Structures are given as C-alpha cells and as structure tokens.
C-alpha cells in the first residue's frame, strides 16, 4: 500500500535534480531551481524537518512544472508501507 509523507527539504531538492533541474542560486533559506538560465526559477525551502503539504501541492500544480517533475515529486512523497494487523485480544 502506498503511503504519502511530506518530503524533507533535501529530498524535494533531489527530486528536482532527478527531473533535470539545477540550483541557480541559494541563500540560507531557499534554493532557486530551474532547468535552464532562461526558465522561471522555482523556490525550494531549505529549512524545516518536512515540507508542508500545501507547498508540495503548489509545486505539483504549478504551471511551471512538467510531467517529469511531477513524477519525481510524487516519488518523493510516496513510499511502500505495510499496515500491521491489529493485535488480537
């Protein structure tokens, strides 16, 4: 069964890199990622334990993301997990 989880900032950055994006610029709080120098850069937060679901949703539905990026983001937020059986009484 697939389970969705919020990605870490590093995990989201790696998803962008697998989709062909690179860091154009960065500061203490954000990576600016784009495929090329003429593309609109997409900011990726660096801080925090996990990226909020609303941020991930906005990235997936951004007019600047393509199917390859969406696939990598969805890969970053999903994992296979087994739900254990409840204990018997």
Which residues touch 23 (CB under 8 Å, ≥6 apart)? 13, 31, 32, 33
Domain that includes residue 30, residue range: 7-77
Domain at 37, CATH number: 3.30.920
pTM for the model stands at 0.78
- Structural domain includes residue 44: yes
For the stretch 5-53, pLDDT in tens is 788 999 999 999 999 999 999 999 999 999 988 888 999 999 988 988 8
Going by C-alpha positions, the residue among 46, 39, 9, 8 that lies closest to residue 21 is 39
* pLDDT tier for residue 83 given thresholds of 50, 70 and 90: very low
The CA distance from 85 to 77, in Å, is: 24
């Amino acid at each position: 069964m697939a389970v969705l989880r919020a990605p870490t900032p590093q995990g989201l950055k790696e998803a962008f890199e697998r989709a062909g994006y690179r860091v154009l610029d960065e500061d203490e709080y954000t990576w600016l990622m784009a495929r090329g120098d003429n593309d609109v850069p997409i900011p990726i937060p660096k801080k925090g334990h996990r990226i909020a679901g609303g941020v991930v949703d906005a990235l997936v539905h951004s007019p600047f993301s393509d199917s390859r990026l969406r696939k990598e983001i969805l890969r970053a937020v999903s994992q296979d997990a087994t739900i254990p059986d409840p204990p018997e009484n």
